[in-house]
Amino acid sequence: MNRDLYIDFAKGLATLSIIFIHTAFWSGQFYIAPEVRVFSLVFDVALFYALSGITSGSNIEKTFYRLLKLQITYMIFVTLLFFLDYLFKVFGLAFFSLEWLQNFYSTFGSKYAAIGISTQPQWQNLGNWYLHQYTNADTFPVVMGSFWYLKVYFILSVFGVLILKFFPKHINWFIGICIALTLIFNIFPEYYPSGQVGYVAFYMAVFLIAHQMKGKKIPTKWIPVLYGLVALALAWMFSHYGKDVFYKINKNKFPPTIIYIIWTLFSLITLFVFYNRLKISKESFVTHIGKNAIFFYFAQGISSSLVYFLVVPLKENMPWWILMVLIYIVNVILAFIIAAGLKKFDSFGWKILEFLRKKTASTSA
């Protein structure tokens, strides 16, 4: 079966968009105009859940094996991250001073100031990361700020494949339930549950709708209707909540409320409009990113942390929009280099695990 390059292309563009979002909302908080930061959210993480829905099937064994591989790759990455963070602190304390380290971490802003810097490794942090409790990595704060997506992805994939396997004739019912729950949570916000329930209710609907679109194409006559409905929804949102709601979209992303949901509709409709319509026949820089999206997702957390150290000295010396373009380009280049390194490190980690497996495997008949 030939690989659908449109999926890789869409994943690549979505990943590049995430890099821009993290350029705008992390180091960009020091210099990028608020309007641009909000507009960066047009093509956001909901696209990944939709693409997962398109590519998912009802094979439980295959899905669980894929998730197990992802979990191990994730654990290899956060182990590397843990030791990089720890060794940097040891290096800073040994060759400089605690004051130097505190000044270094102050570059990220007071919200991410490191607390309790010492030469003692905080093993509980590594354990928490393995279990998807994303305590901050002081030296690379953007990494753990990005990982909420991964926990929701695991949850969606598990429940999604169970629905597809055991309720194949009732998928539309589950879509209806998810949409109904999302509406209830928004109509009665006092009942909006904490934790992952609100995330899963909305993103599961996206996941399942995308699965129902698998192999299909939106009829041409429906395209202006769908974009018209999106325009009406946006008009209602601004008229109901006021123009200032534009600046509150990111706050309504965690967890997703009706404001953020309406904001994501344009990107989701666009994804489905071009699906099975836009033919990608050749490999490219973008499809390469899409094929290696998980490594780029890991890498952009590191690169988006590193670019802080360019932003701080340059933000007073050039127009903000020139700096934004420069930092974004540097961020993408760094992410590309780091992703390549992480892929090789992941391969090395798997070789170690395979060596340990062979050494500890039972030789009895």
pLDDT at 307 over 90: yes
- 83-87, 103-107, 175-179, range with the lowest pLDDT: 103-107
The verdict on residue 63 lying in a domain is no
Contacts 24+ apart (CB under 8 A), 2-8: 5/280, 5/281, 5/282, 5/283, 5/287, 6/274, 6/275, 6/276, 6/278, 6/279, 6/280, 7/51, 7/54, 7/55, 7/290, 8/280, 8/286, 8/287, 8/290, 8/291
Q: Is residue 333 situated within a structural domain? A: yes
Which of 253, 274, 295 is the endpoint of a domain? 274
Does residue 31 form part of some domain?
A: yes
Kindly tell me if the per-residue pLDDT of 113 is higher than 80.
no
Average pLDDT estimate for 267-292: 95
Burial call 72-96: b when 16+ CB within 10 Å, e when fewer: ebbebbbebbbeebbeebeebeeee
Query: What tens digit of pLDDT does each residue of 83-97 get?
Result: 999 999 999 999 988
Is residue 329 scored above 90 in pLDDT? Answer: yes
Q: Work out the average pLDDT over 34-57.
A: 95
Q: Per-residue pLDDT for 365 more than 70?
A: no
User: Do both 251 and 299 map to the same domain?
Assistant: no
Lowest mean pLDDT among 110-114, 163-167, 268-272, 334-338: 110-114
Q: What is the spatial distance between Cα 242 and Cα 252, in angstroms, rounded to a whole number?
A: 15
**Residue 242, by phi and psi: left (phi above 0), alpha (psi -120 to 50) or beta?**
left
Q: What is the mean pLDDT of residues 339-343?
A: 98
Q: Considering the domain boundaries, does residue 350 fall inside one?
A: yes
Can you say whether residue 193 is alpha, beta or left, with left for phi > 0 and alpha for psi between -120 and 50 degrees?
beta
What is the rounded CA–CA span in Å between residue 225 and residue 223?
Answer: 5
Question: Can you give the pLDDT at residue 119?
Answer: 84
**Domain annotation covers residue 76:** no
Lowest mean pLDDT among 113-122, 161-170, 325-334: 113-122
The residues, any chain, with a CB within 8 Å of residue 51's CB and separated by 6 or more, are: 7, 10, 11, 14, 210, 271
How far apart are alpha carbons 72 and 342 in whole angstroms?
13
Please, what is the average pLDDT of the chain?
94
Percent of the chain with pLDDT over 70: 98
Q: What is the mean pLDDT of residues 241-249?
A: 94
Q: Is residue 331 part of a domain?
A: yes
Q: Does residue 363 surpass a pLDDT of 70?
A: no
pTM of the model: 0.94
- Binned at pLDDT 50, 70 and 90, residue 362 comes out as low
Instruction: Identify the pLDDT of residue 245.
Output: 95
> Considering the domain boundaries, does residue 303 fall inside one?
yes
Among residues 234, 221, 293, 244, the alpha carbon closest in space to that of 267 is found at: 234
Question: Which structure tokens are listed for 274?
Answer: 């071009």
* 71 located within any domain: no
Tell me the residue range of the domain where 301 lies.
1-56+287-364
**Structurally, how many domains does the chain consist of?**
2
Give me the mean pLDDT over the 315-338 stretch: 96
Specify whether 247 is located in the same domain as 270.
yes
State whether the Cα torsion 155-350-141-131 is positive or negative: positive
List Cα–Cα distances, 149 to 49, 81, 91, 242, in angstroms. 9, 18, 32, 29
Query: What is the spatial distance between Cα 181 and Cα 237, in angstroms, rounded to a whole number?
Result: 20
